Chain A
C-alpha cells in the first residue's frame, strides 16, 4: 500500500477515535485494564533492561575516561545525562514497541479476523473509541512513569556496578549525579516519553485494526507495527533532540 494511503487511513483511524463514549464507566474500566496491561505488564522487562543499561554505561564511560585529569564524578554526570536524554526514553520505548506494540497489533488483528470488532460495531459501539483510545491514553499515562522509573533504576544500576567493580565509589557517584544537573533535561525525557508512547500505541493499533486476511496477516501486521514504530521513534527522537537540545 502506498505511503500516502497508509497516512490517510491512519489519520481517519485516529480521527474516529475521538467520539463520545457510550458508557463512561465501561471506558474507564477498559482504560484501567490497559494501564495494568501496558504499565504493570511491561514493568519487569523495563527494570531488567534499565539496570543493565546503567551498569554497562558506567563501565563503558569509565573505560573511555582514561586520563586522571577528569574527575571520577564525571562518570556519574555522563551516565545521568545519557540515561535521561537518550538511553532510557529511546531504548526503553523501542523495547516497548516490541512488547506492547506487537501485543496491541495482534490483539486487534485477531479481533478483526474473528469478527469481534464487527460484533462490537453491530452492538452500536464506536470500536475505534472503545478499542484504541483507552490503549493510547493508558500508554500516555504509564509510559512516562515507566521511563521515570527506568531512569532511576538505571542510575542505581550504574551506582551499584561502579561501586562493585571499584570504578567509582557511591559517594563520588552521588556527588556526580548532582553536578550541573539541568531540570530541563527531565522535560526533554518526558517529552520523548509522551511522544514515543503515542507513536507506539497509535501505530500498532492502526495496523492491528485494519488487518485483512487471516492468521498470517496478523503476524505480518504485528511485525510491520513494530518496525514502523521503531523507525518513527528514531525519527521523532532525532527531531525532538534537534528542536530541544540544539545549541544556540
Chain B
C-alpha cells in the first residue's frame, strides 16, 4: 500500500501540488485523473522519486520514501516497475534485451534462467516471436506491452503506469487496460495509473483520485463516479453530450430502471 500525506510541490513561484493526501491499495487499479496541467504527472513523479516534494510524506508499506537514505531508496526502487508514456524502451536493444536488462542488472541468474523469465513475461503480455526485434520495428501497442513486460520482470510490488493509452487506438487501449488489470489482480501489485482516458476510468478505475489545478478534488471508484454531483468532475468526465447520455443510462441501469442488456455493447 502507498499512502501520501499532505504532499506539496512547487517549481519556483508556481505551486503544482497543494496538500495532496491519498491512499493507493494493493490488488487494485488506482487511477490519478485530471485534465492537462492538473498536476497528475508531477504527483506520479513525486511518488516514484523522480521529483522531491517540498513537504509531505510518501509511505511505501509505512516507510517514508522522502526521508529514506539513498541506499534504502535504491532497494525500494527495485520493487517498483514503471511503464512510461512513450514506453521509454532502450533504442539500441532488442525487445529481449530490453526485458532482460533489469534481470542482468539485479540478478546473478544464468543466461538460460533469465531467458526463460523473459519469455514468460513476454508470453504474459501476449508478445511472442518479437524477441529479436528492435523498438523501432514494433507498433505503439507492442511497445507498451514490452514496457509492461520490462516493468514486471522483477515481480514488483508497486506498478506505476503513465498514460498507458496515449497514442493508441481504442481497441488496443482496451487490451492494454485489461492486461494491466489482470496483472494487478494476479500479482496483487499496488498499481497507480495516470490517465485521462475515460474508457480506462470506467473500466478499471477501482480507486480514483481526481485532481483539479493541483488540488485533490474527488476520490472514489468508477461506480461512484456515476452518482457524483461534483460539478468539476462531471464536467471533466462527461464532457460531451454522448457521455452525458451514457451516464444517464448507467444511472438508470444501476437503479434498475433499464435492462442491463440494453447497455451491453457486445450484443448486436
Do B105 and A122 have beta carbons less than 8 Å apart? no
Quote the shortest CB–CB distance from B165 to chain A (angstroms): 17
Do A114 and B106 have beta carbons less than 8 Å apart? no
When distances are taken between beta carbons in the complex, the residues of chain B under 8 Å from A123 are 77-78, 101-102, 105-106
**Known pairs A110-B91, A123-B105 / 7 extra A-B pairs, C-beta < 8 Å:** A23-B105, A23-B106, A115-B86, A118-B88, A122-B49, A122-B160, A125-B105
Do B104 and A124 have beta carbons less than 8 Å apart? no
B interface size (C-beta, 8 A): 25
Q: How far is the CA of A124 from the CA of B49 in the complex (A)?
A: 10
Of the residues B80, B89, B104, contact of A23 by C-beta under 8 Å = B104
Quote the shortest CB–CB distance from A126 to chain B (angstroms): 8
A interface size (C-beta, 8 A): 15
Q: For window 48-97 of chain B, which residues contact chain A by CB distance below 8 Å?
A: 48-50, 73-78, 80-82, 84-86, 88-91
Q: How far is the CA of A122 from the CA of B49 in the complex (A)?
A: 8
When distances are taken between beta carbons in the complex, the residues of chain A under 8 Å from B91 are 110, 114, 116
Binary contact readout B99-116 vs A (1 if CB under 8 angstroms, 0 otherwise): 001101110000000000
Closest Cβ neighbor of B75 among chain A residues: A124
Binary contact readout B206-228 vs A (1 if CB under 8 angstroms, 0 otherwise): 00000000000000000000000
Quote the shortest CB–CB distance from B217 to chain A (angstroms): 27
Closest Cβ neighbor of A33 among chain B residues: B92
When distances are taken between beta carbons in the complex, the residues of chain A under 8 Å from B101 are 123
Q: How far is the CA of A14 from the CA of B77 in the complex (A)?
A: 23
With A123-B78, A124-B74, A124-B77 known as contacts, the answer to whether A114 contacts B105 (CB < 8 A) is: no
Do A122 and B48 have beta carbons less than 8 Å apart? yes
Do B85 and A124 have beta carbons less than 8 Å apart? no
Q: How far is the CA of A115 from the CA of B50 in the complex (A)?
A: 11
When distances are taken between beta carbons in the complex, the residues of chain A under 8 Å from B80 are 122, 124
Q: For window 157-171 of chain A, which residues contact chain B by CB distance below 8 Å?
A: none
Q: For window 119-158 of chain A, which residues contact chain B by CB distance below 8 Å?
A: 119, 121-126
Q: How far is the CA of A104 from the CA of B146 in the complex (A)?
A: 26
With A22-B105, A118-B50 known as contacts, the answer to whether A124 contacts B88 (CB < 8 A) is: no
When distances are taken between beta carbons in the complex, the residues of chain A under 8 Å from B49 are 121-122
Q: How far is the CA of A101 from the CA of B90 in the complex (A)?
A: 20
Q: How far is the CA of A114 from the CA of B84 in the complex (A)?
A: 9
When distances are taken between beta carbons in the complex, the residues of chain B under 8 Å from A23 are 104-106
Do A119 and B105 have beta carbons less than 8 Å apart? no
Write 22 A-B pairs (CB below 8 A) sorted by A numbering: A22-B74, A22-B105, A23-B106, A110-B91, A114-B88, A114-B91, A116-B88, A116-B89, A116-B90, A116-B91, A118-B88, A121-B49, A122-B50, A123-B77, A123-B78, A123-B101, A124-B74, A124-B76, A124-B77, A124-B80, A125-B105, A126-B74
With A114-B88, A115-B84, A115-B85 known as contacts, the answer to whether A121 contacts B105 (CB < 8 A) is: no
Quote the shortest CB–CB distance from A129 to chain B (angstroms): 12
With A22-B105, A23-B104, A26-B105 known as contacts, the answer to whether A114 contacts B86 (CB < 8 A) is: yes
Quote the shortest CB–CB distance from A239 to chain B (angstroms): 36
With A23-B106, A26-B104, A26-B105 known as contacts, the answer to whether A122 contacts B86 (CB < 8 A) is: no
When distances are taken between beta carbons in the complex, the residues of chain B under 8 Å from A22 are 74, 105-106
Quote the shortest CB–CB distance from A213 to chain B (angstroms): 15
When distances are taken between beta carbons in the complex, the residues of chain B under 8 Å from A119 are 82, 84, 88
